[in-house]
Copies of this chain bind each other. A is one copy, B any other.
Amino acid sequence: MDIIIMTNYPQHPAAIADSSFTQIRQELQALGQTFPHPNAVIIERIIHSTADFEFATITKSSPAAIEAGILALKAGCSIITDVQMIKVGISAKWTAKYNNSLHCFVADEEAKKAALARGLTRSAIGMRIAAEKNLLNGSIVAIGNAPTALFELIQLIHEGILPALVIGVPVGFVNAVESKEALTHIGNVPWITCLGRKGGSTVAVAIIHALLRLAVGVSNESETTF
């Protein structure tokens, strides 16, 4: 029975991706939601990862933020994440293209001790550790879980740290809305965010995968280009 079901649907990874993005574009069009390049690539890939079309209306970026992310990736920038899920979710095949290294300090013994001592989240302390290791300047910082990490990063930016791009998409009921609203006011650093409560590690990974595809110059469907 299951074999019959399986043969009715695309099984090859590239065919699955092709069919998914065709559906996403058709439904966005039916909803009257169309976006220029390169914004469309970001939004389509978030919807591909969440099956949630609300991201078409809540995903926002500062002027030329996507271009800033592409340039940073091509220059081999580091990618700093608030949680391990984002770090492992990013395809090594794609980061290998420009030697982008990935870093996350949430699970460090140092972060655990400092978080306990200061009553803060480990993700917030993780941002400060990244700054102390001089990893944030020129990097892409992707925050998909902890609003406290995004607030800490905004504080670090006020202290003079200059990431190339902040992907700030924490999810939740406490501080998420407020931290993302604060991100839209930082002024001196490009940002991509999803307004409101929604976000998450899979959204952060989707945005980075979209930026890597834009950097390499392939479309969303081309899962197996190299």
Binding site for B on A (CB under 8 A): 1-3, 5-6, 9-13, 16, 19-20, 23-24, 48-52, 83-85, 87-89, 115, 119-121, 148, 151, 154-155, 158, 171-176, 178, 182, 196-202, 205
Contacts and interface: CB of A to CB of B under 8 A. Distances in A.
Contact of A6 (B151, B172, B202): B151
Contact of A9 (B51, B87, B178): B178
A119 B10 CA distance: 10
Contacts of A158: 1-2
Contact of A173 (B5, B51, B88): B51
Contact of A148 (B11, B51, B202): B11
Nearest to A3: B155
| For the complex of A and B, 9 pairs with smallest distance between CB atoms | A51-B197, A20-B173, A84-B88, A85-B89, A23-B173, A16-B174, A2-B155, A12-B119, A85-B85
A121 B9 CA distance: 13
Contacts of A198: 50-52
A186 B220 CA distance: 34
Contacts of A24: 173
Contact of A201 (B48, B87, B89, B182): B89
Given A20-B173, A85-B202, A173-B19, A178 B5 contact: yes
A87 B88 CA distance: 10
B121 A174 contact: no
